[in-house]
Amino acid sequence: MSSGGVIASMYVGNVVLLLLNLPLIALFVKMLKIPGKVMAPIILMVAVAGVYSVRNSMFDVLLAIIFGVVGYFLRVFNFDLGPFILGFILGPILEEHFRRTMILSDGSFMIFLQRPIPLIIMSLLIIAVVWFAYDSRRRKKRMLPTMDQYQEAERTIGSTDRKH
């Protein structure tokens, strides 16, 4: 498939979306007024139906639910989802190329240290890991004030300003 065909299909898709979305703006605005308690089950049912319809497999539905729960807990504990998704997408590619490299080097890790480009990448990786570990320790030692302490300081400063 040529890249020109992909680009042309993107243009056609944008035009179709424009033609469909302009008349439906009022409906979308009304949908925004529907409470989340009503919309969440509807979205969940449509998502489950979509996952099931791909291969008619309950395993896929279970897998989607498990990843949804994992994503929820990642969000609750303030994990950044970008690196997680990036790793999930690039992980199999990295694994395939790592396996190929290990086959070419007969299982020796020295292949990563014998050439200049992998050596530079490994050095930068080690420097980055050490720097972030050092920086996080330094930040923990510097303990920033809590919001309550900050508000108390503001009240104290505000009360002394009124006296003068």
| Domain count along the chain | 1
Q: Cα separation of 20 and 99, whole Å?
A: 47
The runs of H, that is alpha helices, within 56-105 are: 58-76, 81-104
Asked if residue 146 belongs to a domain, the reply is yes
Q: What is the pLDDT of residue 50?
A: 95
Number of H helices, E strands in the chain: 8, 0
Asked if residue 143 belongs to a domain, the reply is yes
Q: What is the three-class DSSP state of 78?
A: coil
Q: What is the pLDDT of residue 112?
A: 82
Q: What is the pLDDT of residue 163?
A: 52
Give the domain range for residue 144. Answer: 115-152
What is the model's pTM? 0.48
Average pLDDT by stretches of 10, the chain with 164 residues: 83 93 90 91 94 94 93 85 85 93 90 87 92 81 67 73 52
Asked if residue 104 belongs to a domain, the reply is no
Residue type, 154: E
Q: What is the pLDDT of residue 143?
A: 65
Asked if residue 163 belongs to a domain, the reply is no
